[in-house]
Homo-oligomer: A and B are copies of this chain.
Amino acid sequence: MNSLFKRLSKHKSFTFLVTVSFLTALSSQAFGQEPTNTIPLSNDFFSAINTIWMMIAALLVFFMNAGFAMLEAGICRTENATNILAKNLIVFCVAATAFFIFGFRFMFGDSSNPVFGQFGILVDSLFPSEVNLNPFPQGFENLRFFWQDRSFAAIFFFQLSFAGTTATIVSGAVAERIKFWGFILFSFVLAGFIYPLVGYWVWGDHGWLASVLNFHDFAGSTVIHCVGGTAALVGAWILRPRHGKFGYDSATESFPYGEEVGTFEPCNPGFTTLGCLILWVGWFGFNGGSTRFLEYVPHVLITTVFASTSGGLAILLYSPLVTGYKVKLSSIINGILGGLVSITASSAYVDILGACIIGAVGGVLVLLGESLFQSNLLRIDDPVSAVPVHLFCGIWGTVAVGIFSQSISREFNSLHTIAQQTFYQFLGCSCVILTTLLLSLLAWMAIGLFLYYLNPSVSYHYSEGDIGVLTTVRRGLRVTLEDEKAGSDATIIM
């Protein structure tokens, strides 16, 4: 570290970078963790093929950023496309930084306690060294044991792309009405703290869900999708609907009309379909990269593909047979995505028939979830159906591990009966969701209040008198009615 700061101090012109480096230094100094003493790892242990597959899988997951961007830009209205694209582009930058500085050690660092890992950043750990190309820093013995012959840098990159995905899920649900900086700040908190905390419980060293309940979540139906979906739900609930949606009036903050005002048609079905197909391809990396055993990769890809096709086919048959309505393109897309989210928790544990059932149920669940959200009971405005897809199917996928897992899979430890395991799956998933719900609420509120008091004069609100804290939060997080009508600007974002 010292030599680095010496180098830095020579280049006084980089003053605008001081914030970044100061933060970096602070966080590593504050916790007294100078992870310089790396344990040598013989190159004998480095498996090229395992590492390369991990990199390829990570790149497929990274490419999902393009999928989310296209999916959301295509579903939103034209005037908001630029804004949602900018959010989807910058969110990976923010999430990667947060996960690097705070999240990774917190989620994957060795720890004897069941609730969280370590604090601190990873700069020196990822320093190339002649002696030892892929050093594991002190404090990652569990990770080294789990991923055996992969390099530390490979594991870090793979997990980085996962963390980015979690943050991206939120953007769709809060689209077209959230302030740019509100979203940026929440993404930082989500990827840096909330996701790593509950992630540790399932995938961390001594995380209590895995070790106490024998909770299984193969590639993240709970850890990624329930967490992202819950954070999205809280955001969409706090922000209330877009102006005109469900008859919501953003000026009076109420529902005076009782029915939808204006049009909310997707602006570009081509982008949406492309987004779905990119996500589909990316999911093979998502699931396929999550197994430790390369021999399982083909099987994982097959369960993944059949869950998704079953999700799509279920929608194809469900819409005309059950609802009597014709099939929508957006329903097929969400059916496929629902199938993919549902199989994420179990793709290495189930056979094809199980995958088909899991996917088909997931697909239908999305349609039911959409109906529920649009009912007068809830009136929660989730433009891209992020909550039905990620949260509802995430829960179903997690529970389905208990029902359909084959005990003979090397990846799955069957300690309980089917009923027991199913119950523990549900219990673990509920704990993760409740915790995320609480922490997300706190985070959204803190950010909303911060943005409100930072600039209280810029207000579009016509209601007077005392307002509750949630209203204040919403006013801090939400763009003005003028900006919302203008579409948060055509080319200028923020």
A interface residue numbers (CB < 8 A to B): 4, 7-8, 11, 14, 16-17, 19-21, 24, 43, 46, 48-53, 55-56, 58-60, 62-63, 65-66, 69-70, 73-74, 81-82, 85-86, 88-90, 92-94, 96-97, 100, 122-124, 126-130, 133-134, 151-154, 156-157, 160, 180, 184, 265-266, 268-271, 273-274, 276-278, 280-281, 284, 288, 293-299, 301-302, 305-306, 308-310, 312-314, 316-318, 320-322, 326-330, 332-333, 336, 348-349, 351-354, 356-357, 360-361, 364, 403-404, 406, 408-410, 418, 489-494
B274 & A360 in contact (Cβ 8 Å cutoff): no
Query: Which chain B residues lie closer than 8 Å to A332 at the CB level?
Result: 86, 89-90
Distance A317 CA – B494 CA, assembled complex (angstroms): 12
* A189, B251: Cα distance in complex, Å: 56
Contacts of A336 in B (CB 8 A): 89, 93
Apart from A4-B351, A19-B317, A73-B273, 19 more pairs, CB < 8 Å:
A11-B357, A17-B361, A46-B295, A52-B56, A55-B298, A56-B56, A62-B281, A81-B269, A89-B273, A94-B309, A128-B296, A129-B408, A133-B295, A151-B295, A153-B302, A265-B491, A270-B271, A326-B493, A329-B493
Determine whether the beta carbon of A299 is less than 8 Å from that of B128. Answer: yes
By secondary structure, the A interface counts as: helix
Name the contact of A93 in the complex, choosing from B92, B309, B403 (C-beta under 8 A): B309
Closest to A490 in B: B265
Collect the chain B residues with CB atoms within 8 Å of residue A361's CB.
14, 17
> Are the C-beta atoms of B360 and A55 separated by less than 8 Å?
no
For A277, the chain B residues whose CB sits under 8 A away are 63, 65-66, 69, 89
- Indicate which residue in B298, B327, B330 contacts A153 across the interface (CB closer than 8 Å): B298
**Cα–Cα distance between A14 and B327 once the two chains are bound (Å):** 21
